[in-house]
Each structure stands twice: as C-alpha cells, then as structure tokens.
A and B are shown apart, each in its own frame.
Chain A
Amino acid sequence: MTDFIDLFSYAFFQNALLASILTSVLAGIIGTYVVARRSVFISGGITHASFGGMGIAYYFGFPPFLGAGIFAILSSLGIEWTSNKAGLREDSAIAILWSLGMAIGIIFVFLTPGYTPNLMGFLFGDILTVKQTDLIWLGAISLSVVLLIRFFYDAIIITAFDPDYAKTTGLPVKTIRYTVSIFIAIAIVLSIKVMGIILVLSLFTIPPSAANLFSKSYKKVMFLAVVISLVGSIIGLFMAYVFDLPSGATIILTLTGFYTISRIYKLLATK
C-alpha cells in the first residue's frame, strides 16, 4: 500500500495520471460523437495515416507529434471531403489512406540514420514518459473540446444525426463537420502518446459503446463514457505499473473487461 502512496510522489507518475485523466475526457466526448456517427473506421484511418507524418518528422528532425498532427488533420479533412462527393467509395479510400500512412511512416523511420526512435512507444503508447508540454497540449485541447460541446451541443449532434435536415434549417453543416473533424484528428494524435497508434481507437470506442448499453440519451452516454474511460484508464495505469506492462494494453484490457461484464449484466437483466 505504501508503494502506491509513494508512487504519487514521483513526477512521472503524476504526469501519467494527469495525462490519462485528460485523455479520458477527450476520448469520452469525441468517442461518443465518433461512435454515434458510425465513423469508427474513419478514425482508424486517421490514426494510422498520422504515422506517416510521424516518420517524416523523425527523418527531418521535427517534433514527431507535429508531423502526426498535420497528417491526421489533412487526412480527416480529406475523408470528410470525399464523403460529400458522390461516386467515391469511402471505405476503400480510408483503407488506402490507412496503409499508405503506415507505409510512409515505416519507410522514413527505417531511413532515419543512426538512432532508431522508440517504435514500440508509438505503436503501444508510452504514458510513463509524458512530459509537461504534452500535458499542456492535452489540457488545452480537452478544454477546447469541453467548451465546444458545452456551447454548440445541439448544433453538433443534430448535424451528426440528420445532416440533410440540419442543412434545411440553415445550420452551417459543412463548417460544423469540418471543425469537428479537425478536433477529432487532434484528439486522436494527442491520445497516441498515452495509448499508442494501434490501441487508441479502442479508447474512443469501448467507453461510449459500454455507456450506450445503459443509456440512449447522447448527453448521458457522453458523461458515462468519460467516467468509464477515467476509471478504466486509472485502473489500467496501476496495472501497467504493478505488472510492468505497456499502459495502453492494460487500459484496453480493463475497458474491454468492463464492457464484457456490462454486456452480460444487461443480457441477464433484460431476461
């Protein structure tokens, strides 16, 4: 027990804890939108495409998350754009983007001379090396997302629910969709630090899906998703520390466990 209490006195652990709290808020809010709009696959494409930017940034010596951010934003805008054009097969376009991003990333990481960056950290997350600047970014984006949903809640969900109708009321549907896309991209990239490219998608998907089992109201699903994500991340973080495992993986295991139990509970309760 004293081990745990000691843990909190370490700066790296405080940072890790704060990072998982902020990521949970971000993932709960953005994830609910992604799941409700059925755009989980789009988010997967954005996540993996961002690896290309990361590799290029590494090769040229820029901050890797800047590269990833630019790639993520461009690809999310690109996908939003193609989804408005008839005749383009969105799922194929996403799959191509997905693997192209990974390919570019792998090539540039491979080409980077001498020092090989910590690939495992990108792929599986490295929460224990979160720095103060990472936290500032995460905090700023989390705050922006909270404010965005606080003030534009109705317009955002109506645009997601029934875009054609939203257009007839004169809502700036395109602007809203593109703005939200940019926030999704940034949220994903910042969460990569904690969860890793491969696992970040689940952090955005499992909590809202579990929350959706208990409520059909968007607001409640969103709040519940944040709570589930928070509890899961913190438990996962402790597990990672105790068993010396990558934090992304332990967080996803915790969340999936929770989802499975909820599912079974719901199944038994409705019988």
Chain B
Amino acid sequence: MELILTYLPFYPLISFLILISFGKRLSWQLASFFSVGAMALSAISSGVLVYHLTHIDASVITVHLWEWFNLSTGDSASEILSGVNSTVNISFYLDALSAVMISVVSGIGFLIHLFAAVYMKEDENFSRFMAYMNLFIVAMLILVLADNLVLLYLGWEGVGLCSFLLIGFWYQDKANVKAARKAFIVTRIGDTAMAIGLFMLFKTLGQLNIADLTQTAQQTWEVGNESAYWIALLLLGGAVGKSAQLPLQTWLPDAMAGPTPVSALIHAATMVTAGVYLIARMHGIFLLAPEVMQYVAWLGASTLLLAAFAALAQTDIKRVLAYSTMSQIGYMMLALGAGAWSTGVFHLMTHAFFKALLFLTAGAVILALHHQQDLFKMGGLLKKLPVESALFIIGLICLVALPGTSGFFSKEAIIGSLWSSSTAGPALWWCAILGALLTSIYSCRLFFLAFLGESRFQTSLHVEDSKLLRLSLIILAILSLFGGLISIDFDTVFPVSLSAHQDPSWLHTVAILTPFVGIAFSWFYFSSYRKNQGDNITASSSSLVIFCRNGLGFDWLYQWCLIKPYCALARLNRRDMFDQLIMFNAWYVKMLHETLSASQTGNLRWYAAAIGLGLVGLFTVIMVGVGSI
C-alpha cells in the first residue's frame, strides 16, 4: 500500500517530464497517451488507496521518502531537551481528508484530461498544454499529501505557478497574459501571508509536521491564545488568496481567459479547493482561535452573496460559472467557519463533481458554437445539442441543490450546521439561504438564455462527435447525481461536534424549499429569455447591472486604491533615489575623464605650457615644503 501511495504523484510527474522534453515531436496520440494514461494510473491508485483505507483498521497511511533538509533553531541543547524534531521530510500522509482530496484531484483530473485531450486536439502546442496540466496535478497531489507544511507550501506554490502557465496558455493574446499575471500576483499576496504564518508557527512551536504541530498546539495553547489567533489569521490569508474569497477574489473571473479544461481544473479539482483544504487540514489551530473561525464564516458568507449577485449579471457563460464557483467556495468556507469541517469537505467533493461537469459541458457547447461564449448569442440549444443540454441540466440541478442530487446533500448539511453553531448563527444561516435563492435564480437565467427560446446565432454547429468527450461528461454526470450518496467517515480526522441540535423545525423546510422559490421566481421574471423568438435580446445596461457584472466594483476599487497610486509612486521614483547615489560615482569619474580628455588637444604649445606650469607648481610645492622645515 505504501508503494502505491509513493508512486501516486510520480506518474503525472514522469509524464510531464516526457511531454516537456519532447514537446512538439510527440504526435497527438502519443502525447495524450502519456498524459491521460498517467492520470488514469493515478486515479486507479487513489481508488485502491481509498478502498484500502476504508477497509483496514488503520486510519492513516504514511510514507517517508527522504529527508529534504534540516531546520535548526540554533539552540541544539534545548531542541534535544524538548524533543523537537525539526527535519523537513518529503513524506506523504494519507488520512480520510487527504484520501478525499486525492480521489477528487486524480479522479476528476483524469476525466478533465480525457476531455482536454479531445478539446485541445487542434492546438499546435498540445503537448505543452498537457504537460502543464500534468504538473498541475502533481503540485496538487503534493499539496494534499504533504505531511509537513513546507512540502505543502511547495505544492501550494506549484499550483500557483501552473495556474499562471495555464491561464496564460494562449499567450499570444495580451488579455490572457494580463489575466495570468493578475491571478499570479493576487494569489501571491495570500501566499505571503501564509508564509509569514508558517514562520510564526515554526518560531512558536518549533516544528512543521502537521500532525505533531496540531497536537503540540492543542497541548500548549489555550483557546483564544494570541499566537494561535495570528497564525490562524495568516493561514486564512493564504486560503483566501488561493480560494478566491472576499478581498482577493478578483483573479478568478479573469482566469476564464485560459482554455476551458483549465477552468474546469482550476475550479473543480485543484486550485480553489486548496484554501479549503488548508483550513480543514489546520483545523486544530483554527479551533484555538474562535474569532478567526467567525471571520472565516463571515468571509465565506459575504463572498457567497457577492459572487451570487455578480453571477446574476454576467453575459459570458464561463464567467457565470466562475462566479458560481466563488460562491460555492463561500459555502465551504462558511461550513469551515461554523466548525462543520466534514460538511465543508463533503461540499468540496460534490462541488468538484458538478462544477467539472458544468465547465466541461460549457466547453463542449462553446466548441460547438465556434468559441462563442456570449449567452445573448446562444439560445435554443436544447433542441440542437440534446446530450450536452441534458448533461448541463444535471450539473445545474446539482448546483441549485434540488433534492436527491449530490449538491443537495452537501449544501443542506452546510446550511443545517449553521444555525446552532457557536461561531456562526442565525444571521449567517439567512445569508446561506439567500445565497441558495440567488444560486437558483442565476442558474435559471443561464439555462433560459443558453438553452431555451429560439437560437440567436446563424452559424451551423460544429459537432464534435467524440466518444471520449461524451464518456468523460457522462461519468461526471453520474458522479454529480449520485455522489451525494458517498459517505465519508471523517471521525478520525475532525473532532466530532457534540452540540445537541435544537434547531427550529421549520429550518429544513425553508432550506429545501428555497431553490424551488428561486426557480419559480425566475420562471416568471426571466420569461422573456425563456420565450424568446430568436429576436435579438440584449443584456440590460442599467448601471446597477453593469456594477454587478463588473464584480461589484472590486476591480475598479483596487485599480484606484492600489494599482494607480502604486504606478504613480513608481513613476515618481523612476530615477531611483538609491540608484542616484551610485550613479554619482559614475558621473564624477566621467566628469574627470572629460576634463582630462579635453586637455589632449594635440596642440604642442599647449603641452609645453602645461609642462611649464606643472614644473612651476611642483617647484612651488617643494619650495614651500622646504621652507616650512
């Protein structure tokens, strides 16, 4: 079993190395064979591992590969006394939480790879694309399997790097490059916070192994300890950056610039779930800082609502999905903040299923419409693309959380855990309900615009009748529908909450009814979209709608509060002050040089005079010197 776990991240890594070294010399068949095959091996291995984990007594499998480096606090005597083990190892740690994560990452990742192999077939840099995708999976697997925070950070940064490479994959277009840079820089802000958190952890506890660290922290710190508060806050900063939560959410909608499989990979399986994973993994620290857990909940709730409002006004099909991802991650954060760790992770899993399905189906639709992403130029797709439409409907009903789907199980569990949680409460419960209502409204709007009514495009459909493409979509659809039945036993990972539920009985009824209210509302409110007869409808151009469409003005705010002042400062100090100090030396030497070279005239009489004057000067000096003795 250890062997399987050891090899798990190495299949995609080897495939990455092959693809990146041979590049364009590989044919499409070979390149997709390597990349998809490696992902298949990973997916099978994680399947075996999960099976093994649920059927043996041991709840944890660990593998020690090798020692990476040794961290020393400089005071070896006290280290020996306290028994602190400060070596940083490359070792993997598999428990129920990371088992869920590896199966999501490699399983969904495999399906996305399968889809991408078909979707990107025509691209001339196909093997580079697949190489980056593989590297993405490697980084994510390292992140979730790491047994210490340094290795986790390696994976964390690797994910950031790969997202940069993939969002800017079509780098010939400047907008894509800008989006890639934005994603990289914005997440970097969070990463910096996280790195500082790691330093503080090492300084206060002297170790970075996650299991040891949690144990030590809980033994030495009281609840409400100040270092725990700051460390949890800094870790939250990292999670906020990666998971696109409130102050750092602006990169996610722009990340749609990448090819569609990348969006699916970033949104469903890998990148944005990293923050959720981090908080779930470090729950021991967060439990010691209840204030930070409240912040997590409030951040999640506000992101959830903000993103839902923004999703209501988007015109680009992928951007609707991007904002919906943001709002679903908000749900996960809300669950984590309320202390419902396992429901948060459960929602992560089900969300991965249906969001991958939604993105890939959207990709198939976009491909069929010759890369048309504008919702107002779609319409009537239900009749023209019946299979894709059916799959999309499945994805949407999971997103809306209609009873019976996977989204229902996880979202209801989250909403149910909020009311009586000590760090959440009824206010957040109402936020979550409002979010669910908005989710159903924007999902209906998306569906009506794209699939109902008459078609608003003239071009004939480009039908990619690939079995592989369909296959991956259908597997995802099955997972989305029935994924809620998978029960995961998190008792060994998370503390079991013992709160006796005294929720009012109407809570569940309201939570279940909310999506239906939203659907009924949009059925009437968006009836013009639904009954559209092929005439051109356009997006509303009222200022409120535009405000929502631009992500509630956050880009604008950052543009004016941060980017503009910074650029102005940079322009002001273009001739850098400290450079000037150094440049003074150069200027001084150059001035001397110019003076001396001006004296080299080639004029003999001038030389003679200079020699004479020099002699006079010399004699004067000597005379004065002699005279003074």
| Same assembly | no
